[in-house]
Amino acid sequence: MASAKPLHGTELVDCARANAKQGIETAAYQCGYGDDLNTFARELRQACEEMNLQVKELSELITDQDLILQLGTGEVVAPDTASEL
């Protein structure tokens, strides 16, 4: 659900990170900035600096853990019932 008002600080960074895979337009909208991408980028850069994060692009917020979780969508191999082990 998109924020009703523009987010700032750690809330902005968390929201942007959660939506980074969908692109900057979606992330800006979800974080309450609508289609104002310039303000979103400026506020996100400032929030990252305040948290001592060295981030130049939105995609840098996607962590290795996020990528591993995405790779974990495979086929489950298990017996049909507990008695068929």
18-46 residue pLDDT tens: 888 888 899 999 999 999 999 998 999 89
What is the pLDDT at residue 6? 94
**Cβ neighbours of residue 79 under 8 Å, at least 6 residues apart?**
85
Tokens of 39: 């303000």
What amino acid occupies position 37?
Answer: L
CA dihedral sign of residues 19, 20, 22, 24: positive
Q: What does pTM read for this prediction?
A: 0.69
Sorted by sequence, the CB contacts under 8 Å of residue 63 that are 6+ apart come out as 17
Closest CA to 10 of 62, 65, 48: 48
